[in-house]
Structure 1
């Protein structure tokens, strides 16, 4: 496994990773209704998410992709200019392989190089557990609604 920078042709695969992660990993901690509003519904959800990710990645943020030996994406993370981590998702089969840790290492090195002193994220239940292991602290729980469905995540941060 190796880490490389995002390229626009990654967007469809990242959409697939996002949807699979939300549906398979997110469903351990969230209801079917919450998973549906978070990860999209139907067979075209991954394509729609991939298109949105492609637009999002063009806004100047940095993005890294963990790829397997065939250069196929298995996980990804992004970093906005203010230290915000908006996305960290791994394909279900990549969980426990170290991919997310390698991505976070690459992100932290770039953040330090850019002079950032703090990282912050809004993390799901599963991501909260990962970020806690990586030295992040929970600032507070965030309860909100998406399309009328109550859901929550955690505002977390870490000083570099």
Structure 2
């Protein structure tokens, strides 16, 4: 897939893609009367051209064909994100959105998401602010005002559904170093999500440490409480706290015997640096450093 800047010569192709997508993909969530009002086949070409040129607009190509496009303004308003009906669930929307959000890094990103697109943005860490009814040619259409707060806007790990692979080093209580590998899968819904993963230490007989986190959204988007059932340590409770490019985690077991800290540092949308340490009765039990890399999956 190639992502490039919008060119004026793309206009007619984008207008057709917009019309075809709404009259096929969005028709699953809106009536024929609604999609006809939304995209009537007679767009204001001058207004579209002006908007696409004023905004930061990107086009995705697959095999030389335009598969999707999206644009965002300098305030962080994500105006359009459309993927051709023949290129759905190939990661096109994700690739475009990654680049659009990165363009306004450090700002909140807002979007008026259709019924069709709302689950996609929810999985990316956008919060639902309110539903609203907009009118097109006298026809009401429902969409959702959503926002990705500035504190979390840059983060792709934890706050979005996805699969990540880890490689690094594990240090036991005596300081001995062993290679490790691991995998984490984040499955996100609107208010709660799960993080399932393991770390496998390659030390003679491989040792595998598994975790199953349940994470709950609270009043603050930068603080996320979690509970984990660890087969070896029992129930752990903790919180993820987001500060700029870092995600910090601290936790303790229900009986107070085990505790620990972990840091995830954003390197880019597909890469995080990870380091953590675990204690038992106040003494170091283990520590690790790892690099997490996203596995691109269809979206």
TM band (smaller chain): 0.7 to 0.9
Is 1:125 the counterpart of 2:125 in the alignment? no
What is the alpha-carbon distance in structure 1 between the residues aligned to residue 37 and residue 29 of structure 2? 14
Counterpart contact for 1:29–1:125, Cα < 8 Å: yes
Instruction: Report how far residue 122 of structure 1 moved.
Output: 0.3
Q: Which has the higher helix share?
A: 1
Structure 1 gap segments, 5+ residues each: none
What is the alpha-carbon distance in structure 2 between the residues aligned to residue 105 and residue 99 of structure 1? 10
After superposition, what is the alpha-carbon deviation per residue over 1:58-88, rounded to whole angstroms, capped at 9, x for unaligned? Answer: 3x21001111122x21101101110001100
Q: Summarize the Cα distance change of 1:13–1:55 in structure 2 as closer, same or farther, 3 Å threshold.
A: same
Instruction: Report how far residue 144 of structure 1 moved.
Output: 2.8
Of the two, which has the highest radius of gyration?
2
Number of residue-to-residue matches in the alignment: 150
- Summarize the alignment of residues 5-84 of structure 1 with structure 2, pairs less than 5 Å apart: 5-40=5-40, 45=41, 48=43, 52-58=47-53, 60-70=54-64, 72-84=65-77
Structure 2 gap segments, 5+ residues each: 154-299
| 1:86 aligned residue | 79
Q: Which has the higher strand share?
A: 2
Is 1:156 the counterpart of 2:149 in the alignment? no
Relative contact order (alpha carbons < 8 A, sep ≥ 6): 1 or 2 greater? Answer: 1
Instruction: Report how far residue 10 of structure 1 moved.
Output: 0.8
Instruction: Report how far residue 53 of structure 1 moved.
Output: 2.2
Structure 2 SS opposite 1:140: strand
Q: State the TM-score, normalizing by the size of structure 2.
A: 0.48
Counterpart contact for 1:13–1:50, Cα < 8 Å: no
Instruction: Report how far residue 55 of structure 1 moved.
Output: 2.6
After superposition, what is the alpha-carbon deviation per residue over 1:126-160, rounded to whole angstroms, capped at 9, x for unaligned? Answer: 11111111111111001132221111100001022
What is the alpha-carbon distance in structure 1 between the residues aligned to residue 45 and residue 71 of structure 2? 14
Q: Summarize the Cα distance change of 1:49–1:74 in structure 2 as closer, same or farther, 3 Å threshold.
A: farther
